[in-house]
Amino acid sequence: MLDELEWRGLVAHSTDAGELARALAAGPVTAYCGFDPTAPSLHFGNLVQLVLLRRLQRAGHRVICLVGGSTGLIGDPRPSSERALKTKEQTAEWVSRIQQQIRPFLDFDGENPALMVNNLDWTGPMSALDFLRDIGKHFRVGTMIKKEIVAARLAGDEGISYAEFSYQILQALDFLHLYREYGCILQTGGQDQWGNLTAGVDLIRKAEGGTAHVLVTPLLTDSGGVKFGKSEGNAVWLSPEMTSPYAFYQYWRNIEDASVIMLLKVLTDRTRDEIAELETDLAERPHLRRAQQVLARDVTALVHGAVAADAAIAAAGALFGRGDLAGTDRESLAAALAEAGLTRVAEPLPDIAHLMHAAGLVSSLSEARRAIAEGGAYLNNVRVEDAELVPTSADLLFGSYLLLRRGKRTVAGIEVTYG
């Protein structure tokens, strides 16, 4: 199991790799990963952890998903500044949303069901005195301030509050509770969480004399060192309301050649032979971008389902004249046009030359007329020959949209508004 995870690039560090490998090989172990509700949706970084838990469960190990109703009220310290605390009501709402997001990734009903827990269930009833006497006594301040993020915050002007400083104790308490309650001996997380995760290993050793392990995944970056999961400065969310399935698909479709094979290993179920074949294809025919297409389709289907993935592919093809616009659904088309650039135009509509100018496809009306005369302008993937053509209601896709294209690759959308 550990060899497979290492080949897939899912292991950055672990505590005592040899002992962990023996534990995984000896029989089913119980592992957990925590997800804090610091936003209304999970994002790409969380996806890596869900994929790791999915692989562990499929290999026969028991997995626990912890959504932090209590740790979410404090917030994991960031390297830069203090988090703004959310209300208890907001945190509870986000806990519920994230729990529902997690469920499709794992099997919660089979012979080896995953378990969903909320750490507010055991920290909420605990008094401050019990927390300090039973848990806090096992921690040394000198060790705590050496943790990477804590040290970075202490070195800055803002410092760190006692609440965020104590976060590592809360997370360690989670590991101890799951160790006691379910025999959990493995915690997974991102590489930047190493200090918080190993605090739990130390607490289990001190409080119970037990042995536990941590396995952290690497922070995935492109060839320029930029973390994956950012699109034009915004996070790539797993929620379809925050990042549409079409935008999600396009993000992975546009991954650079240098990173696509690595991401296929990390995020998909493709076998070694399948990935080797895609790597060969990438080297010999990079212009076809087949590896990117497979990555985008597989990851979109994993997160949003096969139907949404196929709809995103159909919309992408239709946008550039490679598919039937009539075969796309309204939601996918709207998302595709929004990504391409959507301009709202009120009724009554002007002619096609003015629409191309309004949509930003040309810099002037004369340029629009020239593009049309040269045969390089399209309305709903049909070549336009008359610059004075005025679209009618029959041209509106789903009663609202027009697709404009200049040449093969430059597209924009028009949304018609009324009243």
DSSP 8-state assignment for residue 158: S
* Main-chain phi, psi angles of 405, to 5 degrees: -140, 140
Superfamily of 220-339 according to CATH: Tyrosyl-Transfer RNA Synthetase (1.10.240.10)
Which residues is 235 bridged to in the sheet?
A: 230
Distance of alpha carbon 349 from alpha carbon 364, whole angstroms? 18
Superfamily of 2-217 according to CATH: HUPs (3.40.50.620)
Tokens of 186: 């493995």
Give 183-219 pLDDT, tens digit per residue.
999 999 999 899 899 999 999 999 999 999 999 999 9
Distance of alpha carbon 72 from alpha carbon 345, whole angstroms? 43
Give 392-404 pLDDT, tens digit per residue.
999 999 999 999 9
Tokens of 16: 């005592």
Chain-centroid distance, C-alpha 204: 31
CATH no. of 341-419: 3.10.290.10
Q: In 3-state terms, what secondary structure has residue 229? A: coil
Distance of alpha carbon 76 from alpha carbon 345, whole angstroms? 45
Which residues is 403 bridged to in the sheet?
A: 413
pLDDT of residue 265: 98
Contacts of 219 (CB under 8 A, 6+ apart): 12, 190, 191, 192, 227
pLDDT of residue 232: 62
Poorest-pLDDT segment among 184-193, 367-376, 410-419: 410-419
Please provide the DSSP assignment of 344-399 as one string. Answer: EEESSP--HHHHHHHTTS-SSHHHHHHHHHTT-EEETTEE---TT----GGG-BTT
pLDDT of residue 419: 67
Poorest-pLDDT segment among 61-65, 329-333, 401-405: 329-333
Strand runs (DSSP E) across 280-361, as ranges? 342-346
pLDDT of residue 231: 63
Contact 350, 344 (CB under 8 A): no
Q: Do 220-339 and 341-419 fold alike per CATH?
A: no
Mean pLDDT of 163-187: 96
User: In the block, which residue shows the tokens 């918080």?
Assistant: 196
* Residue 396 amino acid letter: L
Poorest-pLDDT segment among 24-38, 106-120, 165-179, 230-244: 230-244
pLDDT at 32 over 70: yes
Tokens of 43: 């994002």
Distance of alpha carbon 316 from alpha carbon 307, whole angstroms? 14
pLDDT at 220 over 70: yes
- Average pLDDT over all residues of the chain: 93
Distance of alpha carbon 215 from alpha carbon 254, whole angstroms? 30
pLDDT of residue 233: 66
Going by pLDDT thresholds of 50, 70 and 90, the confidence category of residue 362 is very high
Give 267-297 pLDDT, tens digit per residue.
999 999 999 999 999 999 999 999 999 999 9
Distance of alpha carbon 58 from alpha carbon 55, whole angstroms? 5
pLDDT at 418 over 80: yes
Domain-by-domain residue ranges, the chain? 2-217, 220-339, 341-419
Going by pLDDT thresholds of 50, 70 and 90, the confidence category of residue 328 is confident
pLDDT of residue 275: 98
